[in-house]
Amino acid sequence: MKLFKTAKGNILQQNDKYYSNSSAFDELINRENLYGYLSSLQGFTPITDGDAQLILKDHIQPPVQSQEVWAAGVTYLRSRDARMEESKESGGATFYDKVYEAERPELFFKSLPHRVAGTGQDVYIRRDSTWNVPEPELTLFINSKGNIQAYTIGNDMSSRSIEGENPLYLPQAKSYERSAALGPGLYIPEKPVSPDTTISMNIVRGGKIVFGGSIKINQMKRSLTELAGFLYRETDFPTGSFLMTGTCLVPDNNFTLHENDVVDITIQDIGTLSNRVTYKP
Ligand code: DO4
Ligand code: MG
């Protein structure tokens, strides 16, 4: 089933029927057995398909209220190779190789909730960066007890020129206004997502696809529970957290995003996250 946060309340989609509810999103999602709770439809009222579609079209928000957004890096071989290449001049390449093999994963703080874009909203590229890319990532919603309860789509917008110049610049390459997009909603399955789940990304410029690709999450070096476990080792998240799990779709080195490009990321069963690229006004 899917849960959407909107400016008109929460909308649940279950077996092709829609229900609405006005609970605070934080309280609604931070549970053990979120699937079981939502299946009971407690506190939800049926609404028509037409009403639900209208609300979702005009009022959808990113599926986050007070949660921090974190990200894992170098969880796929393709990401390790891309980082090693971009940072070879700075002497930083070896760190990516080491972290790919190490027991401890790379985890970094990505965004506070107010900087996150939802589907249909703009994401930003930095004016002080010459090489900007989107990173399509399966994203976990982990409750305050550290258990994965739901999934969404994440775009870890990144400056590869800043990251490549010096690994210590990672926070500036990764964390700035609208550098994170999440959505369209939360996907809450009864069982964990299948390793055969596919992530696809199209980047559209002037109506033409300038990058397209897809991968399966079974290419990831680490398990989803391992990443969640490291994030919660010595850190509390009272309302839960979001964790982007790393990218495997990396456009060629001569590709950089342009203003007005549209990035569409689709993950099987979850939906499509669509964002236009622009500069911070
Ligand atoms: O270490 C740099 C960031 C890696 C990353 O964001 C990814 O692999 O997705
Ligand atoms: Mg990433």
CB-based neighbours (< 5 A) of ligand 2, an ion = 135, 156, 247
Signed CA dihedral, 111, 117, 119, 122: sign only: negative
Residues 6+ apart with CB under 8 A from 276: 122, 123, 260, 261, 262
* Smallest CA separation from ligand 1 atom 1, residue: 73
* Angle between the N-to-C axes of helices 77-86 and 93-101, in degrees from 0 to 180, rounded to the nearest 10: 160
pLDDT on residue 163: 95
Q: Are residues 16 and 106 in the same domain?
A: no
- Whether the CB-CB separation of 74 and 80 falls below 8 Å is answered with yes
Cβ of residue 134 lying under 6 Å from some atom of ligand 1:
no
Q: Are residues 37 and 175 in the same domain?
A: no
The span from the CA of 81 to the CA of 247, in Å, is: 12
Q: Are residues 218 and 253 in the same domain?
A: yes
Task: Give distance in angstroms: CA of 270 to centre of ligand 1.
Answer: 22
pLDDT on residue 274: 98
Tell me the mean pLDDT per 10 residues along the chain, length 281: 98 97 98 97 97 98 98 93 89 89 97 98 98 98 98 98 95 98 98 97 98 96 98 98 96 97 97 98 98
The span from the CA of 116 to the CA of 50, in Å, is: 28
Q: Are residues 52 and 97 in the same domain?
A: no
Q: Are residues 188 and 244 in the same domain?
A: yes
Q: Are residues 173 and 210 in the same domain?
A: yes
Pairing of strands 132-133, 158-159: antiparallel
State the residue range of the domain holding 30.
Answer: 2-59
The span from the CA of 44 to the CA of 2, in Å, is: 13
pLDDT on residue 78: 87
Cβ of residue 83 lying under 6 Å from some atom of ligand 1:
yes
Number of domains observed in the structure of the chain: 2
pLDDT in tens, 179-195: 999 999 999 999 999 99
pLDDT on residue 83: 87
- Whether the CB-CB separation of 266 and 184 falls below 8 Å is answered with no
Q: Are residues 109 and 157 in the same domain?
A: yes
- Whether the CB-CB separation of 140 and 270 falls below 8 Å is answered with no
Q: What is the pTM of this model?
A: 0.97
Mean pLDDT of the chain: 97
Last residue of a domain, one of 42, 59, 76: 59
Cβ of residue 247 lying under 6 Å from some atom of ligand 1:
yes
Q: Are residues 49 and 145 in the same domain?
A: no
In the structure encoding, which two tokens stand for residue 70, read together? 């974190």
Residue 118 vs residues 16, 65, 122, 153: alpha-carbon distances, Å: 22, 12, 8, 10
Q: Are residues 124 and 194 in the same domain?
A: yes
Q: What is the CATH number of the domain that holds 85?
A: 3.90.850.10
Last residue of a domain, one of 39, 59, 79: 59
Q: Are residues 155 and 31 in the same domain?
A: no
Q: Are residues 45 and 75 in the same domain?
A: no
The span from the CA of 19 to the CA of 46, in Å, is: 4
Which atom belonging to ligand 1 lies closest to the Cα atom of 158?
6
Last residue of a domain, one of 17, 42, 59: 59
Q: Are residues 173 and 228 in the same domain?
A: yes
Cβ of residue 61 lying under 6 Å from some atom of ligand 1:
no
Specify the residue for token string 């609405």: 20
The span from the CA of 108 to the CA of 12, in Å, is: 31
Task: Give distance in angstroms: CA of 87 to centre of ligand 1.
Answer: 12
pLDDT on residue 79: 87
Ligand nearest to the CA of 134: 2
